[in-house]
Structure 1
Amino acid sequence: MKLNSTVLLTLILLTLMLGAGSVSAFLGFNIGSSALKGITTPDGRPATKFASSKTNSQQGGLALLKEQEILKIVKARIEGKTKAAKSENLEEDDEETNSSKQKPEEKPPEVTEEKLQPGFPITAQSEGVTLSVQSARYSGGDLLLKVKMQNKGTDSVRFLYSFLDVTDDKGRTLSASTEGLPAELPLNGPTFSGTVSIPTALLDDVKKVSLALTDYPAQKLKLEVSDIPVEK
């Protein structure tokens, strides 16, 4: 009798355990299924991927152009830029032409004659060679005598300006320097201009100076320019 009750109890316990296990499995399956809703397994097949990418590209509106169409587009753009550049060059040429037409003709500068000081020029001539003092002015501590020379004689003439004699109205010899005067005057040559400078410190009580010059080495000429007014 006791054995039968033990077996019965064991069967009841097994039945309860199986029922509890079944219920647990069912609940776990439902919970897992609800958690995995919306999750799909990735498709690893190359053909499927290519088809899906092709479909996506078509849906996205991307259109692949053929090579001939691309060449036509590039050619059209190049021709358009070339035409635009030509039109710009033509417009620039037209503007330059119009501006050149609108510009008035430039007149050559008028040559103004040099205004001479009263009593000038003072000229000396010998054997066709002319020595002329055009003006006298003070500048920078020196008396500047503007001088012109020209040769209309029969031969060219050479000069050493260290032989230039400068004297005041009291017969005193004054030191002087020259600038721009030619070492040689050619026959029938142009007029040469230069300057004779005399320090102002030597002219405190001087009213007039004189210049004397001869050629070198022949010393055939005697050019004397006297009574040049230098009073301040």
Structure 2
Amino acid sequence: MVILVGSLTGAAGYWFARQSLKGVTQPAANPFLDSTDELNRRPRQGADFLSEKDLIAKVKSQTSGSDATKQKKARSQQAKEDAKAKTSDQKAEDAKPTTQSFPVKVQSQGMNLEIRSLIQEDNTLVLKVALQNTSNKTIQFVYTFLDITDDQGQALFSEIRGLPTEFKPKGETFFGTIKILDVPPENVKTISLSLNDYPDQNVKLDVQNIPVLD
């Protein structure tokens, strides 16, 4: 009797348990994973991927832009160097010696004049000169009496620097410059100069037709 009652009770419990579990299903996703994580782990549909051809084109575009910048900088640097070289050449052209064979030497009564060089500086002619008295007497000059003319006979203005007005007998050689002012090089082909001592007028230093143009 007891056995029969126990069997009926077990069968009834099993039946009620099956009825209570109806409609319960296994979860489709891992309960320990957040739904957002699951979505992030799934491959996205329609994602944009660059093809190999597009990647190569993009790299070439970036490389070309970099090369163009480098070439632009190189051209700019070359232009600066060319301008600097041109300026240096122009300065050399503006201050160049003529083809006259120097030095040019003249002598009068023991007084020696040597024209060592002639240089053009814009509209100014610069003559490097040397004077020496090898005579036995003192010789004096007044440089305002220095006469300088061009090939047309026009008088030219000048400045004398570095030369004394008095030269002792058997004295040393003095070096100085004669600057001839306001001389357009394209209009003057030659110059001539003459200088007499003062007050005796016995010494006459005369140099004719010194070429100015090449």
Please give the TM-score of this superposition, normalised by the length of structure 1: 0.47
Is 1:225 the counterpart of 2:203 in the alignment? no
**Max radius of gyration: which structure?**
1
Which stretches of structure 1, 4 residues or longer, exceed 3 Å deviation after superposition? Answer: 200-204
**Does residue 210 of structure 1 match 2:208?**
no
C-alpha contact (below 8 Å) 2:100/2:211 kept by paired residues: no
* Structure 2 counterpart of 1:131, from 113, 124, 137: 113
- 2: CA distance between counterparts of 1:118 and 1:225? 13
| 2: CA distance, partners of 1:163 / 1:204 | 27
Partner of 2:158: 176
Partner of 2:77: none
Offset at residue 204 of structure 1 (A): 3.6
1:194 alignment partner, SS class: strand
AA partner of residue 153 (structure 2): G
Task: Please list every run of 5 or more consecutive structure 1 residues that lacks an aligned counterpart in the other structure.
Answer: 1-115
Which string of whole-angstrom CA distances, capped at 9 and with x for unpartnered residues, describes residues 46-96 of structure 1?
xxxxxxxxxxxxxxxxxxxxxxxxxxxxxxxxxxxxxxxxxxxxxxxxxxx
| 199, 210, 218: which one aligns with 2:181 | 199
Q: What is the aligned residue count? A: 118
Q: Identity rate of aligned residues, in percent? A: 41
Give unmatched runs, 5+ long, in structure 2: 1-97
For the Cα contact (< 8 Å) 1:117–1:135, is it kept in 2? no
| RMSD, aligned CA | 2.1
C-alpha displacement at 1:118, in angstroms?
A: 4.6
Give the deviation of 1:218 after TM superposition. 1.1
Partner of 1:71: none
1:70-85 mapped onto 2 (5 Å cutoff) = none
Deviations 1:146-171 (A, max 9, x none): 11100111201011000000011121
Residue 137 (structure 2) aligns with: 155
Kept in 2: contact 1:174–1:202 (CA 8 A):
no
The Cα of 1:231 is off from its aligned counterpart by: 1.3
Q: Tell me, what secondary structure is at the counterpart of 1:162?
A: helix
What letter is aligned with 2:119? R
Does the 8 Å CA contact 1:165/1:211 hold for their aligned counterparts? yes
1:201 shift after superposition = 3.6
Deviation, 1:172, is 1.4
